[in-house]
Amino acid sequence: MPHNNERSTPAALTLAALGVVFGDIGTSPLYAMKEAFAQTHYPLAVTPENILGILSLIVWTLIIVVTLKYVVLVLRADNHGEGGVVALLARVVERSGDRPRKKAIAIALGLAGAALFYGDGVITPAISVLSAVEGLEVATPAMKPFVVPIALGILIALFLPQRRGTASVGRIFGPVVAVWFLALAVIGVSNILRHPEVLAALSPTYAIGFFVSNPMVAFLALGAVFLTVTGAEALYADMGHFGARPIRVAWLGFVMPGLLLNYFGQGAVLIADPAAVSNPFYLSVPSWGVLPLVALATAASVIASQALITGVYSVTRELVQLGYCPRIAIQHTSGAQMGQIYVPFMNWLLLALVLAVVVGFRSSTNLAAAYGIAVSMTMVITTLLAFSVSRRDWNWPTALAVLVWGPLLAVELAFCAANATKIADGGWFPLVFGGLLFTLLSTWRRGREQLARRSEDEGIPLVPFIEALVADPALARVPSAAVFLSPRCDTVPRALLHNLKHNMVMHETTVFVSVAFMQQPRVPDSQRVLVERIAAGCWRVKLYFGFMEEPDVPAALEWCAEQDLALEPMRVSYFLSRETLLPTPGEGMALWRERVFEFMFRNATSAAAFFNLPPNRVVELGSQVEI
């Protein structure tokens, strides 16, 4: 997705935000109202009182969770313009300073939120496409056996061309979704006019009365009501691509009215014909309109799925740059828009899991049981991190922060508890998947810390070693340049020690480069490079990148010329250390986690490819390291 809000008009950004940000929440009318009365987990008669109660819960859930929490509050908690749980994690960690306990809690919460987001990325394409295609059953019951195969075909067709990028297709996302929301509003109004009494549900008294008369049923119904806000995290996650203002304008002026009108319209359909509960969305239009609506809903579902897929790519890149995930191959699919990326490993993993979910659950009703628990837990994590931001960055008094975030947290915990009742019916899947990813991410982080400590304990101080080396008249100097990449800038790289041991020479220009990823999305070019001369012909260079940037080391080194270090690209050799890790029982992590870390370390993308080094100018020297 493009990061080009500086060059686009507000109207164009608002239209683009419609296509990318609101696809997920915009497809909720396909299944949310149906699931509220599905009677899978609780008995709920389709009576006018219950319909108004559910509608009132939906209205105020959209107002409290989406409008108040995300649109008004959370969009303010950006990280240099970027949003999402990983960007929020980076901001909290950056402000944690020397408080290791707070930093550890923030990292654990952020990694949990990212892991749960991946679970959402698996279920959203499956439930969105399935619920859209299920409209064929309404058109003709004979199509029922073909729903799952058609959904599988659509999903395969969605994932296969990802490597080509989405720039060309993305241009039509906004207009298509705009038509979708317009259709939602028109369908809703046409049905409301027949039963305008449904508008009474705007009053919260109906939601309160529903809870008072049916406390247990109302509590369980929250799991279905929550389906109306499952795409709310996207408002925050995608703010870096469009800015907060276009998202707010699109939500308040277009999306929220369209959603509310459609939900009220479905309520009117149910009041007129309780039997329409089998699929109130598609039964809210005349029979001649079902097939065109299926086509439009399928297009909207594919767009919603694309937004989640792109979001998974972005989160993966952010986790890699911040050091919470192994290096994996990331391809840029557009030379003009740096946000257009493709992550092959995640693409094929997502496709396999989405297809497995569709085959395993087979209907949107079954999938609805699995949907919600991961999203509600992610929302709780966002609230906790945003509370920290409001206290430290916004300078809110503790009492004010508790007064604002406390009720929001209580509402989200209620949704979490309601969704937890569906764990046995499918909710276990995103939790198990998220738990597995959290274990992998936290293991990688712990392993890297352990490796860094070992390197620090065994490392030789760089400056005195180089000064002594350069002063040795017997040392041969070859007329070329060598760049030694190392995670630490104050110790001697292993690659240099091996080069001296085997080749017994040193290059006339020797540069020790360390790359640091900052807790901010992008670093200005003026702050990209820090050069320090440490001895005759020997330099130490620190390169800084943001967690949304591609770490192109050769390109960054060109900026060294402004600080008196000019390197000719065709005369530079890059030396890397390739460590082989040896898990050791009794030290650091549990042995099984050390073996998992060693497996991830061994299969990570090479540093040469990750840092965009020219393959014909890279020399790798190996060593063994016990962990």
> Which structural domain, as residue segments, surrounds residue 26?
10-430
Contact 575, 619 (CB under 8 A): yes
Residue 89, pLDDT > 90, answer: no
Q: What is the pLDDT of residues 524-561, one digit of tens each?
A: 888 899 999 988 889 999 999 988 788 889 999 988 98
Q: C-alpha distances in angstroms, 456 versus 500, 514, 540? A: 21, 15, 18
> 548: closest CA among 75, 21, 86?
86
Minimal CA–CA distance to 596: which of 442, 440, 450, 449? 440
Same domain membership, residue 473 and residue 426 = no
Instruction: Please report whether residue 171 resides in a domain.
Output: yes
Answer whether residue 3 is part of any domain: no
Are both 493 and 616 inside the same structural domain? yes
422 and 484 assigned to the same domain: no
Q: Is residue 469 part of a domain?
A: yes
pLDDT for the residue 457: 67
Q: How far apart are CA 600 and CA 326, in angstroms?
A: 7
Question: 540 - beta bridge partners?
Answer: 512, 532
Is residue 185 domain-resident? yes
Is a pLDDT exceeding 80 seen at residue 563?
Answer: yes
pLDDT of residue 3: 46
Q: 387-431: per-residue pLDDT in tens?
A: 999 988 899 999 999 999 999 999 999 999 999 988 888 888 888
Q: Is 168's pLDDT higher than 70?
A: no
Contacts of 40 (CB under 8 A, 6+ apart): 365, 369, 425
How many domains is the chain partitioned into structurally? 2
343 has pLDDT over 90: no
Structure confidence at residue 339 as a pLDDT band (50, 70, 90):
low
46 and 136 share a domain? yes
Residue 446 in any domain: the answer is no
Residue predicted with more confidence, 241 or 430: 430
Angle at 82 between CA 80 and CA 84, to 5 degrees: 135
Average pLDDT over all residues of the chain: 86
Buried b (16+ CB within 10 A) or exposed e, 100-115: eebbebbbbbbbbbbb
Q: What is the mean pLDDT of residues 109-135?
A: 88
Q: How confident is the model at residue 336 (pLDDT cuts 50, 70, 90)?
A: very low
Report residue 92's pLDDT band, with 50, 70 and 90 as the boundaries.
Answer: confident
Q: What's the confidence (pLDDT) of residue 542?
A: 94
258 and 144 in a common domain: yes
Q: Is the pLDDT of residue 15 over 50?
A: yes
The verdict on residue 311 lying in a domain is yes
Question: Which of 4 and 513 is assigned the larger pLDDT?
Answer: 513
Q: How confident is the model at residue 169 (pLDDT cuts 50, 70, 90)?
A: low
Are residue 426 and residue 472 in the same domain, yes or no? no
Both 102 and 185 in a single domain?
A: yes
Give the domain CATH number at 174: 1.20.1740.10
CA 363 to CA 3: how far, in whole Å?
A: 36
What value does the mean pLDDT take over residues 589-593? 86
What's the mean pLDDT in 193-222?
93
What SS3 class is residue 512?
Answer: strand
* pLDDT band at residue 167 using 50, 70 and 90 as cut-offs: low
Tell me whether residue 443 is in a domain: no
Q: CB-side exposure of 395: number of CA atoms within 13 Å?
A: 0
| pTM score | 0.82
**pLDDT per position as a tens digit, 136-164:** 888 788 888 889 999 999 999 988 878 77
User: Would you say residue 212 lies in a domain?
Assistant: yes
What percentage of residues in the chain have a pLDDT greater than 90?
Answer: 34
φ, ψ (nearest 5 deg) of residue 513: -115, 130
- On whether both 423 and 467 belong to a single domain, the answer is no
Please check whether residues 464 and 501 belong to one and the same domain.
yes
Residues 211 and 288 reside in one and the same domain: yes
Residue from 28, 58, 116 nearest 301 by CA: 28
Paired tokens of 452: 């860094």
For the chain, give the number of residues: 627
Shared domain for 394 and 474, answered yes or no, is no
